Structure 1
Amino acid sequence: MEIKILIADDEPNQLELMAFNLKSSGFICIKARNGEEALELIEENSPDLVILDWMMPNMSGIDLCRSLRSRAETKQLPIIILSARSEDSDKSLGLDTGADDYISKPFSPKELISRVNALLRRSRPGLINEVLEHGKLKLSLTEMIVTFNNKNVKLGPKEFKLLYLLMERPGHVFSRSKLLDLVWGHGVYVEERTVDVHMSRLRKAIKSKSENNEDPIRTVRDGGYSLLTNKII
């Protein structure tokens, strides 16, 4: 699974150095030179994690972090803040703003990669783990197999990808438009009703292996779909 990381830093040398080390570790890097450009690229590319420098002109990393946390589609996006400020109060401010981690400058490439991998393991386990499990549901990325209640569930490619997205982030509500972008591709014109059709097929396939007509997928009115967390099926 390819992992996309967006880096925003107004220092060209620092930006290129981070991109080089992340690419060397197998990540796909998207580079932004300021907060405004980063926001546009996040909307266009849906990265799996973002690294934001605190001190950027016009829109700082802190301001961008606040903006991302205020939006439903990026509310749970993993964020790392970079800063030359190393006081505890500065770290607290960065984390209180909504960042998941805070790295003080200067830092080594090894530390950056370690922090990125640690955050991905915590927030996006599906990007690191080959097998996702949620109650009676089990999904293997390498074998492309899904089981429910220890029984194989036959799914088409679109249904498999939809389930993967839901299992990777249980409880997160995916809008129909977001699912279209992630499964069918950004900019591809497909009616939102198509998502409902494939989601119906997914639910039918899972329920066919259930003993009590269990359905782990929740439909959110005017919102989209999510995987149940308050009652793990």
Structure 2
Amino acid sequence: MYQKSESYCAANGAEAFGQIRRHLPDLIITDWMMPGMDGATFCRLVKSQPDLAHIPIIAHTATAITRAHGTAPPWAVCLRKPAAPKLFLTTVGRFCKRSG
């Protein structure tokens, strides 16, 4: 059984970061290509904050994501668009807190 939860949306990384500060999420789903603060910058910002670094991030993007060799990615999973709905929901379910 899943715990009741709320979802919050943002138009870009800067707005999302403000939402996270007001409502600590269990999971973050972000695109890579966003206006203003892109997904890469957003993910690095979240992971640089000690009180937020534990939050898993799913990057959902049509763009090929590259990272520096030998560094850990700032996301838990990267799903390429278009991700099959079953894969997307199963992946989200892995990271959602459960109660019961």
TM-score interval (norm. to shorter): 0.7 to 0.9
Alpha-carbon separation, structure 2, partners of 1:64 and 1:58: 10
Asked whether the 8 Å contact 1:52–1:80 carries over to 2, the reply is: yes
* RMSD after superposition: 2.0
Alpha-carbon separation, structure 2, partners of 1:114 and 1:59: 28
Aligned residues: 96
Q: Which residue of 1 aligns with 2:40?
A: 62
Q: Which residue of 1 aligns with 2:4?
A: 2
Q: Which residue of 1 aligns with 2:7?
A: 29
Q: Which residue of 2 aligns with 1:227?
A: none
- Larger relative strand fraction: 1
Alpha-carbon separation, structure 2, partners of 1:62 and 1:97: 10
SS in 1 for 2:7: strand
CA deviation vs aligned residue, 1:98-150 (integer Å, no higher than 9, x gap): 10010001112222111101233xxxxxx2243xxxxxxxxxxxxxxxxxxxx
The percent of aligned pairs where both chains have the same amino acid is: 30
Aligned letter for 1:2?
K
Deviation at 1:29, TM superposition (A): 1.6
Q: What aligned pairs does 1:119-158 form with structure 2 within 5 A after superposition?
A: 119-120=95-96, 127-130=97-100
CA deviation vs aligned residue, 1:78-99 (integer Å, no higher than 9, x gap): 110111124xxx2x62983310
Normalised to the residue count of structure 2, the TM-score between the two structures is 0.84
Asked whether the 8 Å contact 1:100–1:119 carries over to 2, the reply is: no
Deviation at 1:47, TM superposition (A): 1.1
Q: Which residue of 1 aligns with 2:94?
A: 118
CA deviation vs aligned residue, 1:180-205 (integer Å, no higher than 9, x gap): xxxxxxxxxxxxxxxxxxxxxxxxxx
- Which protein shows a greater Rg? 1
Q: Which residue of 1 aligns with 2:67?
A: 93
Q: Are 1:79 and 2:53 matched, yes or no? A: no
The match for 2:80 among 96, 104, 114 is 104
SS in 1 for 2:33: coil
Pick 1 or 2: higher relative contact order, CA cutoff 8 A, min separation 6: 2
Consecutive aligned runs of 4 or more in structure 1 exceeding 6 Å deviation: none
Q: 1:96 to 1:83 in 2, by over 3 A?
A: farther
Alpha-carbon separation, structure 2, partners of 1:107 and 1:113: 10
Alpha-carbon separation, structure 1, partners of 2:62 and 2:72: 17
